[in-house]
Amino acid sequence: MSGREEAEGIDEEIVKELIELRSYLEKRIQGLEEEAEKLKALFKIVDEVIVTRSFRMAESIPISQSKPSIPVDKKEGIPLKTASGVLLAEMYTNDSEIRIIPAEDLGLTVDTPPFQTFLISRILDPMQARDSEAAQRGEISTDKILSYEVLRDGDIINEIKIKNYGDERRLREIRTASRWTFEKMYEKIRSTS
């Protein structure tokens, strides 16, 4: 065998090994992509469980007696529904504000659990406290601190306005927590009527 034939034999072996390596890498990449999708799905479930399992007693709730304001753009409304499809509320957002308007026919009140014990005390109050602490440390300006207001007619919730909600993660957390809270309130009202 000449030196040239020997070199070609070595080149063929290297190419063969590279093809096998490429095949291995393709399979590995595909496996990792599938695993990443599963991890994202698991993360979403864990995130939702954290939101729904974290409770503490309400201390206070700022309330104002007024009618809901009209959303800027009704087309942007996100419906919050029960698992069976009952409309609980419409959620409207822009870059700095969230408006949640409960379905009128449900008659959800500020006294129906777990509105104060969960949505207010466990979700919104801690977000506001974290922002206040961040502002004290100079990480955000005071005009970026989350604030919220519950507009009501008597005890009936007309609208929840949340200003300076922050990023997409917070938006998702507020949406998930609101939907879960309203669904539990709806179940409570149905069971007592």
Shared-domain flag, residues 49 and 67: no
Shared-domain flag, residues 130 and 176: yes
Shared-domain flag, residues 115 and 89: yes
Question: Pairing state of beta strands 78-81 and 156-163?
Answer: unpaired
Pick from 132, 91, 106: which is nearest to 187 by CA?
A: 106
Shared-domain flag, residues 108 and 167: yes
For residue 175, tell me if it sits in a domain.
Answer: yes
* DSSP tag of 104: G
Q: Which of 33-47, 92-106, 143-157 has the lowest mean pLDDT?
A: 33-47
Q: What is the residue range of 45's domain? A: 1-53
Query: How big is the CA angle at 171 (ends 112 and 66), to the nearest 5 degrees?
Result: 45
Shared-domain flag, residues 12 and 99: no
For residue 58, tell me if it sits in a domain.
Answer: no
Structural domain total, the chain: 2
The secondary structure of 127-193, three-state, reads HHHHHHHHHHCCCCCHHHCCEEEEEEECCEEEEEEEECCCCHHHHHHHHHHHHHHHHHHHHHHHHHC
Kindly report, residue by residue over 5-53, the tens digit of the pLDDT. 666 667 788 888 888 888 888 888 988 888 888 777 777 676 666 655 5
- pTM, whole model, 2 decimals? 0.62
